[in-house]
Structure 1
Amino acid sequence: MRFFEDIEIGARTRLGAHSFTEGEIVAFARAFDPQPFHLDAAAGARTHFGGLVASGWHVVAISARLRAQAWAREHELLRREGRPVPRLGPSPGFKDLRWLRPVRPGDTLAFLSEVTAKKPSASRPEWGLVFTLETATDPAGTRVLEFTNSLFVERLEG
């Protein structure tokens, strides 16, 4: 992530890809979302899913991890170039979270972040708010996850 003034609306960042395994899906579900269709393929087969599926929160958590890793890579590049690195503030939240298709063992998803809007903070002039559309797609290009994220980013002019 760059300084607020350097961020362009429409900029896209490929965050990376992740392949979901049965073991990972079950482990996440045991720890955080123990619903039968996340824990057991036979139980999942008796639902409208027809088998084991990943928790939507698992997919969101992978998105968050890949986003943080992408920011870390960009910040490391800025440091190597001798450029200043912006502070990133907290996210004041997200909206419009949609799980569009189930994620199954063996699915590999590509994650993307696209800047959709930004505005200076009204109460904290050293910060700006950046809004992104976060998505995950399967290899066929079908979107399986989307949500609008927001993040405070340091301003140069603040």
Structure 2
Amino acid sequence: MIHYEDLVVGQKSAFGRYEVTRDEVLDFAQRYDPQPFHLSDEAAAKTHFGRMSASGWHTCSMTMAMYVAHLKSVPHASLGAAGIEELKWLHPVYPGDILRCENELLEKRLSASRPGIGLTRARMTTFNQDDRPVLTFIANAMIASRPA
């Protein structure tokens, strides 16, 4: 189990593999972001996307799915997140893309008000199959410190 004390600022990890399917893009868009360029190639052809693209919120969700799978494969004493900063959608994600992630620990400190809790800031970047960044954000997360 990885705890606060095990984390090293500057540490990077690479993980995940997520195949983006047309059905999933359509389902997510119909439910949560029903803009025309997320629902049809014909509508998207009239925009800068050129063809149907995944919602940025869907890209965030796919990134989170890869991150949680990573946390399960290398167990962390995660206590959830306090938010994100600087969310940027850098390039469209299309059906057929294959995504992966990289995470870099930028900062860590112990909570001044909550003993046993470490606070971290990390940059998450999601890439497509061409190693092109499609999403980035800074995550503010909490992790338990090692029990005494």
Q: TM-score, normalised by structure 2?
A: 0.93
**Counterpart in the other structure of 2:91:** 101
What residue ranges of structure 2 are gaps of 5+ in the alignment?
none
In the alignment, structure 1 residue 60 sits paired with structure 2 residue 60: yes
Alignment deviations for residues 64-101 of structure 1 (CA, whole Å, 9 cap, x no partner): 111111111112xxxxxxxxxx6321211000000001
In the alignment, structure 1 residue 132 sits paired with structure 2 residue 110: no
Alignment deviations for residues 97-133 of structure 1 (CA, whole Å, 9 cap, x no partner): 0000111111112111111111111111210111111
Sequence identity of aligned pairs in percent? 34
Say if 1:34 and 1:88 are closer, same or farther in 2 by CA, change over 3 A: same
In the alignment, structure 1 residue 18 sits paired with structure 2 residue 18: yes
Alignment deviations for residues 35-63 of structure 1 (CA, whole Å, 9 cap, x no partner): 11001111111112111000011111011
In structure 1, distance between residues paired with 2:17 and 2:104: 16
Instruction: Find the residue that maps to 1:89 and give its secondary structure.
Output: strand
Aligned pairs for 1:1-150 (under 5 A) are 2-75=2-75, 87-150=77-140
In structure 2, distance between residues paired with 1:5 and 1:157: 10
In structure 1, distance between residues paired with 2:11 and 2:142: 17
In structure 2, distance between residues paired with 1:89 and 1:66: 17
Instruction: Find the residue that maps to 1:122 and give its secondary structure.
Output: coil
In structure 1, distance between residues paired with 2:15 and 2:58: 16
Instruction: Find the residue that maps to 1:90 and give its secondary structure.
Output: strand
What residue ranges of structure 1 are gaps of 5+ in the alignment?
76-85
Deviation at 1:157, TM superposition (A): 6.4
